[in-house]
Chain A
Amino acid sequence: MTDAKPIISIRNVTKNFGRVTAVDNVSIDVMPGEFFALLGPSGCGKTTLLRMLAGFETTSGGEIEIDGQAMLGVPPNKRPVNMVFQSYAVFPHMTVFDNVAYGLKVTGVPKAEITGQVEEALSLVHLEDYGRRKPDQLSGGQRQRVALARALVKKPKVLLLDEPLSALDAKLREAMRLELVRLQHSVGITFVIVTHDQDEALSMADRAAVMDRGVVRQIAPPGELYEHPNSLFVADFIGKVNMLEAKVAGQSGGDLVVEVEGMGRIAVPHEGAAAGNISIAVRPEKTLLSADKPGEGVLALKGKISDVAYYGNESHILLDTETGVQFTSTVQNDARRTESSVAIGDDLWISWAPGNTLVLAE
């Protein structure tokens, strides 16, 4: 994949709205056929970046190339991309068929070909029997699929999707995630999807860019974002972390030796250098709870249970540790465990393997 030419190349792109910098010096390469996610909290500039790709916003600086072509000054109707809008924007005054046919009609595709292509696109999204309906006779999920078919029928180089699942209910959202991935595989088009939902990005994307206040913090496949976040922001945004402040004391072999209040000097595996004040963290599901002090070779803290949050398949147990930092441990509510095994006020040890420690230099 690395030697292929990127289908989208974003180089140092910046966007200012007056004094607000919505997108700040962003560089991203998206490869052909990739399912790429732009992920970040509300207001971080995801939509703005996507709209610059579609041509609805001009760039304040930097360059965008799509399919090897510079996009500066190219209007939206001349770009080899199509967009699925957050509101879907399915034309209410046209039937489903006419909606899908619209993009073909306006570019002068012969009538004889339109019908076939529209029917093909509709069957791709399982709406073959809905061509004659008006949008107000469709459910939200069906409208979304019309928007998808309408964009896909244009056979764009890149499909841009702005929070395509946010208007759907939880069950349907989950089904549509799989559906979108299936669709992307079957049409082989590059997808760039905007979402603020980390589960969505992790479950669908081949790679994701995590954005924070206009800046890209990390670009990586989902597994790497989760297992090797490069910053506290990414670690905290992608899943939950228990975080401790630490001070680098030295290096020993492949380990970094850090000083943590309440734990003393500990060694954690870490590649690369780090110095000064840093953070170390551990994911809640990578911790263990025990009544007795754990043996050697693990990192442990003593604490008191302050709350137990029940989530059905798992419970989140909150622990006030002796260092004064609150920790969360996730335990599976499986057959081996009964809910009554822990109670608020219990004194417990929380422990984890040094290898599961995330070293967050930023």
Chain B
Amino acid sequence: MEDWRKNKLAFAIFMGPATFWLLVFFTIPVVVIWIYSFGERGPMGQTYLSFSFDNYLRAIEPIHLKILWKSIWIGGLSTFLCLVVGFPVALGIAFAPDRWKNPLLLVVVLPFFTNMLIRTFAWIVVLGSRGVVNNGLGWMHGQLDWLFTLVGQPDLMGRFVPLGLLYNNYTVIIGLVYVHLPFLILPLYATLEKLDRSYLEASLDLGAGQWRTFFSVLAPLAMPGIVTGCLLVFILSMGNFLVPDRLGGTDSLMIGNLIAQEFNKARDWPFGAALSFAVMYPVFIFFVINALRARFKERARGRA
């Protein structure tokens, strides 16, 4: 590493492609959108660069803030559920016998081989009024009905009414959890896999039970994986527009849908840009604080 830094040419050769990639495909587009966010929509949907804060003022109007707030709690709840579902899975794979690990990881990423749109539509097939769940329930209803008729109670069960499982906020959360689960499991698995088992054994050896060991030793040591996984899932869930669009109800509009609407239907790019950045600023601030905290910690350690 040290030598690389000294050898400027080698350093440039190795770092060049990545830097170029980041610059062309990330930094420049983001800067363009950022500049747009201070612009103004022309009558035909063009963008005039007028350098005003009007778009941001519009973005923090109560109606938009409400959608943002909703996105945050739906994203947050999805992330939490992902963690609850994903932690045991990651733990199970990390502690499985070696020859099982790769097949199990393959199962986790298998859904990625299918387009997200199709995976989302799959939930319609599962949860729709003529979907798998309702058909199953209907079948059971029919069997019970037949049973009760047999014992002379033909009207007890009534008619089967399919449950309205689709097109509400819960469906959106189910969809978001399903779509993003691998993003939580994979980083968490990577952390747990590297974890030295003797920490857990030491905890048991010192008299702690399984739960105590989980919360006092395993979870803190897995924190890097938990944080990475949760951040990924939260950011992806909050910005997702496909899932709420397909599975959500009339009140399931999330910030991603709003932004997509502004860029597509409304053709108001400046406002869409401002909305995007209204979401990104807190994330930026979070990362800056995190970096500062890490540096502060480092320095405190150096002094000790």
Contacts and interface: CB of A to CB of B under 8 A. Distances in A.
Interface stretch (B32-40, B71-79, B119-127, B203-211): B203-211
B201 A76 contact: yes
B202 interface: yes
A93 B208 CA distance: 16
Contacts of A83: 201-202, 205
B142 to A, nearest CB: 49
Given A54-B205, A137-B304, A106 B198 contact: no
Chain A interface residue count: which class? 20 to 34
A102 interface: yes
A133 B301 CA distance: 9
Nearest to A107: B207
Contacts of A154: 206-207
A102 B199 contact: no
Interface in B271-304: 301, 304
A89 B204 contact: no
Contacts of B205: 54, 76-77, 82-83, 151
B212 interface: yes
Given A106-B212, A133-B304, A137-B301, A91 B204 contact: no
A106 B207 contact: yes
Given A76-B201, A91-B217, A102 B304 contact: no
Contact of B204 (A76, A107, A136): A76
A92 interface: yes
Contact of B208 (A77, A92, A137, A151): A77
Interface string A88-126: 010111000000001100110000000000000000000
A91 B202 contact: yes
Interface in B215-262: 216-217, 220-221, 223
Given A76-B201, A87-B196, A82 B304 contact: no
Contacts of A151: 205-206
A56 B206 contact: no
A150 interface: yes
Contacts of A137: 301, 304
Contacts, number: 66
B202 A89 contact: yes
Contacts of B198: 85-87, 89
Q: For A107, A136, A137, which residue has the most chain B Cβ atoms within 10 angstroms?
A: A107
Q: For A76, A107, A134, which residue has the most chain B Cβ atoms within 10 angstroms?
A: A76
B206 A82 contact: yes
Given A91-B199, A93-B221, A103 B204 contact: no
A262 interface: no
A8 B196 CA distance: 29
Contact of A103 (B199, B206, B223): B206
A75 B221 CA distance: 23
A264 B129 CA distance: 101
B206 A150 contact: yes
Contacts of A89: 196, 198-199, 201-202
Contacts of B209: 77, 106
Contacts of A76: 201, 204-205
Given A87-B196, A93-B220, A106-B212, A75 B202 contact: no
A91 B208 CA distance: 14
Interface in B35-93: none
A87 B196 CA distance: 9
Contacts of A75: 204
A91 B216 CA distance: 10
Contacts of A82: 205-206
A93 B218 CA distance: 11
A148 to B, nearest CB: 12
A102 B201 contact: no
A80 to B, nearest CB: 10
Interface in A14-72: 54-56
B203 A102 contact: yes
Interface in B104-141: none
A56 B212 CA distance: 17
Contacts of A150: 202, 206
Nearest to B304: A137
Interface string B174-209: 000000000000000000000010110111111111
A221 to B, nearest CB: 29
A102 B208 contact: yes
Contacts of A136: 301
A92 B301 CA distance: 14
Contacts of B221: 91-93
6 contacts: A55-B204, A75-B204, A77-B206, A85-B202, A92-B221, A93-B220
Given A76-B205, A89-B201, A92-B221, 9 more contacts: A54-B201, A77-B206, A77-B209, A82-B206, A85-B201, A89-B196, A106-B216, A136-B301, A150-B202
